């Protein structure tokens, strides 16, 4: 693949997918903004609200493998459109809820439609771009999450601030954002193609050449194109990859959970200032994604670009915990930790997609499932540790140890991978 084709695929495939991920994230978390008035309107207290929010993750985790099976059966174009339309309609329907039961049901349904989208996007990108360009492309889709943090808060706040007459502003917020997502899903059906050879905007020989190049890379890596998930479950590389992704997701969740509390413990009490400062590690995560992915693609090296950023993140977090009383130094070290986490995340998926890509997305979904188990449990565990010890530094030491352990797994992945090539 030449540079011109890479840029064309980025504009036509990767960036639109990143935009859909932004919508996914906003439609998932806008409930936290609506809750200010919604909870009283439909009879939710903090306990029932937290229970309803958490229901999303149960179906989100349980339905990832079924979603991958649907992707394989109906093709990427219909699957992308169906997923986006489904979660957009569900998010929009939140405008109509009247009881806690309605809230619980729609949170469960939202998890169903969003469940397989992230791993499906990773797999889909791996069908369009060979290894030399893959880290940058996947990094761009991952950048959608910090981008949604920057865009989503002001957008939700603006919609909630408008005077919508007799209808509560939180209902209009859900309706407007949900309708926008449904429109994007309809457009996606006509925008995306199932595979490069089917893309009308690529010359036929170029699409076939992309598929041939990717198939040749997978054959050289020993990947079985049609290997079922059952066969992959006996593969050591699958479990090692899932373990590393679990560590990286835990790190991201810890930053989300710990940053506001940590800043408050540093003496910051202004909610607006805490909100702004809490976004800084996400800026660092985005920078790490971009810089490390770009360098990894240019050099063609993956494993050092995965392991060393994890070590950097571990060291920086230890430093942040030790500097807990120093304010700016602790924040700077947290940003350095975010830089390492983002760098590792952007390169990670280049390894499993090389060996498990093929035409079956189930193995990629399983690795993502292993990582996202952390989303359901790590905030609870971190909260318990903080409550038990009275210190926000203790869980950070634990996270640093986990990142160190994850970095030590990377050489094992490298040995297994090199034995196959």
What sign does the dihedral 119-125-127-133 (CA atoms) show?
Answer: negative
Q: Does residue 57 share a domain with residue 13?
A: yes
In terms of domains, do 143 and 235 share one? Answer: no
- Residues 215 and 212: their CA atoms lie apart, in Å, by 5
Low-confidence ranges of the chain (pLDDT < 70): 221-232, 255-279, 324-327, 357-360, 379-380, 383, 421
- Helix %, strand %, coil % for the chain, to 5? 85, 0, 15
Half-sphere exposure of 87 (CA within 13 A, CB side): 32
CATH number at residue 14: 1.20.1250.20
Letter string b/e over residues 154-176, b meaning 16 or more CB atoms within 10 A of that residue's CB: ebbeebbeeeeeeebbbbbbbbb
Instruction: Give the Å distances, CA to CA, from 313 to 263, 319, 370, 407.
Output: 19, 10, 21, 10
Distance in angstroms (rounded) separating the CA atoms of residues 325 and 261 = 13
Q: What is the pLDDT of residue 395?
A: 80
Angle CA 109–113–115, to nearest 5: 105
Identify the pLDDT of residue 246: 93
CA distance 210 to 223: 17
CA 358, distance to chain mean position in Å, is: 21
pLDDT at position 265, please?
A: 56
* Domain span including residue 269: 230-420
Q: What are phi and psi of 261, to 5 degrees?
A: -65, -45
Q: Kindly state whether residues 112 and 65 are assigned to the same domain.
A: yes
250 and 197 in a common domain:
no
**How many domains are contained in the chain?**
2
State the pLDDT at residue 221. Answer: 67
Residues 263 and 188 in one domain: no
Last residue of a domain, one of 156, 190, 222: 222
Identify the domain boundary among 160, 194, 222: 222
Q: Are residues 298 and 401 in the same domain?
A: yes
Instruction: Say whether pTM exceeds 0.85.
Output: no
Query: Does one domain contain both 391 and 260?
Result: yes
In this structure, are 291 and 370 located in the same domain?
A: yes
Give the model confidence (pLDDT) of 200-229 as tens digits.
999 989 999 999 998 888 777 665 555 566
198 and 236 assigned to the same domain? no
Write down which residue in 201, 222, 243 finishes a domain.
222
Backbone phi, psi, residue 128, to 5°: -110, -25
């Amino acid at each position: 693949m030449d540079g011109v084709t890479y840029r064309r695929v980025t504009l036509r495939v990767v960036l639109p997918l990143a935009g859909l991920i932004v919508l996914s994230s906003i439609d998932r978390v806008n409930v936290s903004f609506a809750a200010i008035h919604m909870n009283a309107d439909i009879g939710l207290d903090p306990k029932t609200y937290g229970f309803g929010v958490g229901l999303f993750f149960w179906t989100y985790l349980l339905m990832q493998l079924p979603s991958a099976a649907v992707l394989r059966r109906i093709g990427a174009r219909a699957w992308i459109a169906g997923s986006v339309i489904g979660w957009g309609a569900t998010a929009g329907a939140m405008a109509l809820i009247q009881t806690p039961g309605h809230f619980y049901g729609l949170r469960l349904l939202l998890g169903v439609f969003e469940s397989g989208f992230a791993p499906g996007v990773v797999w889909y990108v791996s069908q369009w771009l060979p290894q030399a360009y893959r880290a940058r492309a996947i990094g761009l889709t991952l950048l959608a999450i910090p981008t949604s943090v920057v865009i989503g808060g002001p957008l939700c706040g603006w919609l909630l601030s408008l005077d919508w007459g007799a209808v509560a502003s939180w209902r209009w917020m859900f309706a407007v954002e949900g309708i926008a997502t449904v429109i994007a899903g309809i457009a996606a059906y006509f925008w995306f193609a199932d595979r490069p050879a089917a893309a009308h905007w690529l010359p036929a020989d170029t699409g076939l050449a992309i598929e041939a190049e990717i198939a040749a890379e997978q054959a050289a890596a020993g990947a079985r194109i049609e290997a079922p998930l059952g066969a992959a479950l006996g593969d050591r590389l699958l479990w090692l990859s899932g373990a590393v992704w679990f560590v990286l997701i835990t790190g991201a969740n810890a930053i989300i959970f710990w940053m506001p509390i940590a800043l408050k413990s540093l003496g910051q009490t202004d909610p607006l200032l805490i909100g702004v400062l809490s976004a800084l590690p996400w800026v660092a995560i985005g920078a790490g994604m971009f810089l490390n992915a770009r360098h990894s693609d240019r050099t063609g090296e993956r494993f050092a670009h995965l392991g060393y950023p994890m070590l950097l993140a571990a060291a920086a977090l230890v430093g942040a915990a030790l500097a807990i009383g120093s304010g700016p130094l602790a924040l700077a070290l947290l940003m350095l930790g975010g830089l390492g986490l983002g760098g590792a995340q952007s390169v990670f998926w280049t390894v499993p997609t090389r060996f498990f890509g093929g035409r079956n997305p189930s193995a990629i979904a399983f690795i993502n499932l292993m990582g996202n188990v952390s989303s359901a449990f790590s905030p609870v565990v971190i909260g318990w540790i903080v409550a038990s010890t009275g210190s926000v530094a203790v869980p950070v030491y634990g996270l640093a140890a986990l990142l160190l352990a994850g970095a030590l797994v990377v050489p094992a992945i490298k040995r297994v991978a090199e034995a196959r090539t």
